[in-house]
Amino acid sequence: MRKKESKPILEVRNLTKRFGGLVAVNNLSFTINEGEILGLIGPNGAGKTTVFNLVTSFYQPNSGDIFFKGEKITGLSPHKICMKGIARTFQLVKPFPNMTVLENIVVGALSRTNRLNEAREEAEKILKVVGLSDVKNIPARALPIGKRKIMEVARALATRPILLLLDEMMAGLNVAEINEALALLKRLNSQGITLCLVEHVMRVVMSISDRIIVLDRGSKIAEGPPEEVSKNIKVIQAYLGKAYA
Ligand SMILES: Nc1ncnc2c1ncn2[C@@H]1O[C@H](COP(=O)(O)OP(=O)(O)O)[C@@H](O)[C@H]1O
Ligand SMILES: [Mg+2]
């Protein structure tokens, strides 16, 4: 069922990011609506991860602005942006490999409190939500990839996001792991967390997204509901053709 709300929670206006001569994000504008699941797709190098890095202030744009809940957040520190309620996961997962699963989540929770006890309680709660309580005491490195990806989501959840950006969460997962991750994302969304998914697994993006934006060489080339976008010829050429070739 598609959601009806169309109140923007994030607005990106005319965003450009250059790396030397390369324009990674090119005058890009888009919005994410409250409660929505937005899919961001495009071929490798299209600028998807760079968009996440800009929204979370890991990178600064050359021009353009980002608004969160109507407030300009361009130029704020990554920590401030996290405190406002934007969290992300990384394409290349970066857990603390020798720390336990629980300790990894506690690190996330410590962004909101200095009290270890509180952070631990919060982490235990989140472990329950994501279904990792039974592996909480093993080192993160010992987790199979599917659970490691879920732990990444848990770490992000520990910062209590309103908007969660997920970078290729499904990459490398088998069908069972994908289905488990999908169910988790739907659950989080139904609890009110707005999601933006960068994803290569087409089945996932098409089934879960309310709306899809297609990037190619830093520019938006298509936008709309999944059924519409998948029919769009430009998309088929730029993305689906390449992906299924
Ligand atoms: N830190 C960086 N320094 C230089 N070039 C970068 C950097 N990050 C990304 N790029 C380049 O920007 C383009 C977009 O990259 P990226 O956002 O990672 O694409 P995607 O996530 O869509 O595959 C690519 O050409 C990539 O090589
Ligand atoms: Mg990427």
Which residues line ligand 1 at a C-beta cut-off of 6 Å?
19, 22, 24, 42, 44-50
Distance CA 62, CA 68 (A): 19
Q: Which residues form the domain of 130?
A: 86-160
User: Is residue 96 in a domain?
Assistant: yes
CATH of the domain at 8: 3.40.50.300
Ligand closest to Cα of 23 equals 1
Is residue 66 within 8 Å of 73, Cβ to Cβ? yes
Query: What is the pLDDT averaged over residues 36-43?
Result: 95
pLDDT digits (tens, 9 = 90+) for 9-34: 999 999 999 999 999 999 999 999 99
The pLDDT of residue 200: 85
Shared-domain flag, residues 220 and 200: yes
Residue 59 alpha carbon, nearest atom of ligand 1: 1
pLDDT digits (tens, 9 = 90+) for 211-220: 999 999 999 9
- Both structure tokens of 166: 């997920």
Furthest-apart CA pair in the chain: how many Å? 54
Shared-domain flag, residues 123 and 71: no
- Ligand 2 centroid vs 55 CA: distance in angstroms? 14
Measured N-to-C along each axis, helices 101-109 and 116-130 cross at an angle, to the nearest 10 degrees, of 120
- Ligand 2 centroid vs 54 CA: distance in angstroms? 13
User: Is residue 40 in a domain?
Assistant: yes
Question: In 3D, which of 50, 65, 56, 57 has the Cα closest to residue 12?
Answer: 65
Top mutation candidate among 15, 16, 22, 221 for ligand 1, by most atoms within 8 Å of CB: 22
Shared-domain flag, residues 8 and 72: yes
Shared-domain flag, residues 115 and 69: no
- Ligand 2 centroid vs 51 CA: distance in angstroms? 9
Top mutation candidate among 19, 28, 56, 59 for ligand 1, by most atoms within 8 Å of CB: 19
- Ligand 2 centroid vs 114 CA: distance in angstroms? 33
For residue 51, is it left (φ>0), alpha (ψ between -120 and 50) or beta?
alpha
Distance CA 148, CA 132 (A): 10
Distance CA 55, CA 219 (A): 16
Shared-domain flag, residues 76 and 116: no
Is residue 55 within 8 Å of 165, Cβ to Cβ? yes
User: Is residue 141 in a domain?
Assistant: yes
Q: Which residue has the tokens 């969304």?
A: 189
User: Is residue 191 in a domain?
Assistant: no
Side by side, which strands form the sheet with 22-33?
22-33, 8-19, 63-68, 71-72
Q: Is the pLDDT score of 79 beyond 80?
A: yes
Is residue 239 within 8 Å of 41, Cβ to Cβ? yes
Shared-domain flag, residues 74 and 116: no
- Ligand 1 centroid vs 89 CA: distance in angstroms? 16
For atom 17 of ligand 1, which residue has the closest CA? 47
For the chain, the domain total comes to 2
3-state SS of the chain: helix, strand, coil percent to 5? 40, 25, 35
Q: Is the pLDDT score of 60 beyond 50?
A: yes
Indicate the residue among 160, 179, 213 that finishes a domain: 160
Indicate the residue among 133, 160, 187 that finishes a domain: 160
Cα 10–65–73 angle (5° rounding)?
Answer: 65
The pLDDT of residue 244: 36
Shared-domain flag, residues 76 and 95: no
Share of the chain above pLDDT 70, in %: 92
Shared-domain flag, residues 78 and 1: yes
User: Is residue 38 in a domain?
Assistant: yes
Shared-domain flag, residues 78 and 96: no
User: Is residue 147 in a domain?
Assistant: yes
Shared-domain flag, residues 78 and 98: no
Indicate the residue among 101, 132, 160 that finishes a domain: 160
Q: Is the pLDDT score of 201 beyond 90?
A: no
User: Is residue 60 in a domain?
Assistant: yes
Distance CA 196, CA 46 (A): 16
Shared-domain flag, residues 52 and 8: yes
Please, which pLDDT band fits residue 96 given cuts at 50, 70 and 90?
A: confident
Shared-domain flag, residues 91 and 141: yes
For atom 1 of ligand 1, which residue has the closest CA? 19
User: Is residue 188 in a domain?
Assistant: no
- Both structure tokens of 31: 């919005």
pLDDT digits (tens, 9 = 90+) for 97-132: 899 999 999 999 999 999 999 999 999 999 999 999
